[in-house]
Structure 1
Amino acid sequence: MPKRYFDLSADMTLPGRWSLGIPTDQQGREVDDPWAFKKGQPIPNPGRLRVPIDVPGTAFDFTLAGLATPIVHVRVASLLTELATDDVQIFPVDIAGQPDQFCILVATKLIRCINDAACKEVELWRPEDGRPEKAGQYRDVYGMRIDAAKVGEANVFRTWGWSVALIVSEEIKSALARIGATGMRFNEV
């Protein structure tokens, strides 16, 4: 039986959830490349960062902060480093007023596995869109499906060409359910 995979995102239907901003350094300056956290590649240790609370509310175990940066509770971070050691980097962050420890989650693998034909719809950038540097790249992917045979042994990764998607294996999804992790939504891909 082929391995199953899921797009992990924040469950925005949960009432009263907090909203977090873009990570900053200890002096309150935005990090040099805030997109680095979701490129699907290892990054140098950014040092101790802060994540501001834009809208106060309930803290969940998984949240997408500013620019869709994954923020996870330390118990989720521990589970991921145990089950997906080669697939993730974890960087502790300070969140004002939070007694619990949270971390930025970086998926370190970028895998070319989107199955264009099986997706509901795939839009590519065209030269006439006025962004010639993006021509031929994904502009949008609806109802994403991947070719699991191209994934290999990865349990957490980003999809090449559409790195906004954070993909986890069924093993990771099940482990997160076992510990009662909150704030997540999973869509099978």
Structure 2
Amino acid sequence: MSDPLSIDPTAQDILFREARTANTFTDEPVSDEQMRAIYDLVKWAPTAMNTQPLRVVLVRSPEARERLVAHMAEGNKAKTATAPLVAVLAADGDFHEHLPTVFPHRPGARDDLHGAPEARARMAAFNGAIQVGYFIIGVRAAGLAAGPMAGFDAEGVAKEFFPEGGHQVLAVVNIGKPGPDAWFPRNPRLEYDQVVTTV
């Protein structure tokens, strides 16, 4: 029986089955070229109305790293301090400013969003979270490991790295080649019949 998935098994393993959240990294650097290639891949992923609220700050300098580590939960400080690269991922509440002025299938959509800040914030957070998932897959596709974290002071990180305001920090992601003892034990996954119901 042929594989019902269209990508080859090696790619399936790299992106999903063998992919893990890394907690230690080697000192091999992550280049700007790698990060540009990752973004140029994941920017095509679908979102509602093709919105792109995700904003990424790559934390490279020692000074910026210290500022970030100060806002991380205790268990995340050391790995964030030593990862080759750290990305702060946030949703821009003014994402609608980058939308086309006219949507052929939704006339007036940009203007509608302009006048609805609460709806826009929800849309930014939802689609930004979708883009975070794509970003992690893109890091894996580049042969790197991602260490996404939610253990941090989101308000503090936002003030440090998005001082103009209007951004909701969604995740902090350590990026690099996995180091020694990089993986925590993996929890079991639910099976298809535990999750999927057909009606």
Q: Shorter-chain TM-score: which interval?
A: under 0.3
Highest Rg: 1 or 2?
Answer: 2
TM-score when normalising by structure 1? 0.27
Q: Which has the higher strand share?
A: 1
TM-score when normalising by structure 2? 0.26
- Higher RCO, 1 or 2 (CA under 8 Å, sep at least 6)? 2
